[in-house]
Structure 1
Amino acid sequence: MTTFEAIVIAIVEGLTEFLPVSSTGHMIIASSLMRVAQDDFTKLFEVAIQLGAIISVVIIYWKRFFPLNRWNFYFKLIVAVIPALVLGALFSDKIDELLESPTTVAVALLVGGIVLLFIDRLFTSPAIEEESQISFGKAFVTGIWQCVAMLPGVSRSAASIIGGMQQKMTRNLAAEFSFFLAIPTMAAATGYKLLKTFKTNPDVLKDSHNLMLLALGNVVAFVVAMLAIKFFIGYVQKYGFKLFGWYRIILGVVLLMLIYKGYL
């Protein structure tokens, strides 16, 4: 992976991590278009730079995370992340296989786009407007919804937002809780991927060029994600999810055409 390729992939990650369009799917697409080899470092890079993006959530919502006496809030996040931790550990190898499939991404983008077209009509009577109103049970169910995003192209953000809205959260609160839930989820995914890479191919983490790319990728993803979050919250409050649905559908169709023609 070159420095240019790393920057492009990190920009894609920062732009899409918190939008309901699948950051993993977009990184796979970007890597495929640039013909980046899907080696151990590329797989690690595409997971590890998500850490940079989620740090942006901590910075933006600093007052919501600190002081550290908000134990109920932290426990809700722990409860919500449990399903992803369990299923991720059980099916990590299968997930890695799916990450190499542009066809899986294209189909998931298309189907998910259709769902987003109607999501605002499905959940029209939200009753939960504040994080303090989210019960442990609702947090856990939202975490189960998040697990759907283990299929590349689904979007962790979309799955958890839909889960939150299904649990009677407002669009704004569901989006924010999705952001908060990303922190333990992506931190665990990054830590697990680093540990797995260290055990199976430690030379990847000893290469100074690779370490430089990981640092650069996290910085770029962090900066871009800061901008993307602010845009997304403002847009969703006013207009809902339909635009993202159409975007996913169009992109999914284009990708299927490119795959059919042999470009991907």
Structure 2
Amino acid sequence: MEQSPWKLGEELTMPLPELHDLVAKEEKACLLQEVIVYYDCEWTKRGVELVDTPGVNSIHGRHTNVAFEQMRVSDAIFYLTYYNHAFSKADQYFLQQMGKVNETFEQDKLYFIINASDLANSPQELNGVKNHVKEQLKVNGLKEPRLFALSSKKGLEAKQKKEVLDQSSFGVFEDHFREHTIEELKHLNLLSIKGKAEEILNKIDDTLSGMAGDKEEKERQLARQTATIQRLGKEAENFSLQKGKGEVLRESDSSLLI
């Protein structure tokens, strides 16, 4: 048996071409907790983290568990199927479970994508495939699925040539995702920041009213909390998903320890 040069709990850094052997072979991949790939594009600059989970048809049972665990902590979930892929029993079971998990969320997180739409011989054929996939989704408990037929090949070619995507299927999908998920997340997170700021103001009032006669101490407390409010305001103006509400709320939590 080949002995690994790495130890459990160790973090490794390597060029991207060397990563393939680690993630493609299950005897090595099963020992990896996560793999982080740094990639510079419009979406990552906005703070979006893309997580690729194992497929549901894998022969390794842990892969499905990994996918479901990631679903619970994701803000948006893409279910990707191929243009000429037939739904298997495993697909149907996974879709049923996805639908149940999605029902526990406050908002719909699911996007269903048919890739390789350029394989269609005509718009009529593509519409037929879309209708078939939509019907399968509804049969498996997904009442109003958001379905997009895309060509990743053509989308990539257009981006590499710096062509406008506005009227393409990829452009429509990106616009929809930006409007219905990214902006919604920003709005929800900013509401959380606003609520935390109001909580700080209430804490200031309670603290100052309870402090007996020490004018200098009151002024110091007021100055410190005012600075916190101003910082939260700047965070809101320059908000990005990568910064996220987590860091802002951690800062505001510490300010409540008066």
TM-score by length of 2: 0.24
The higher-RCO structure (CA 8 Å, 6+ apart) is 1
> Which has the higher Rg, Structure 1 or Structure 2?
2
Higher share of residues assigned helix: 1
TM-score by length of 1: 0.23
Higher share of residues assigned strand: 2
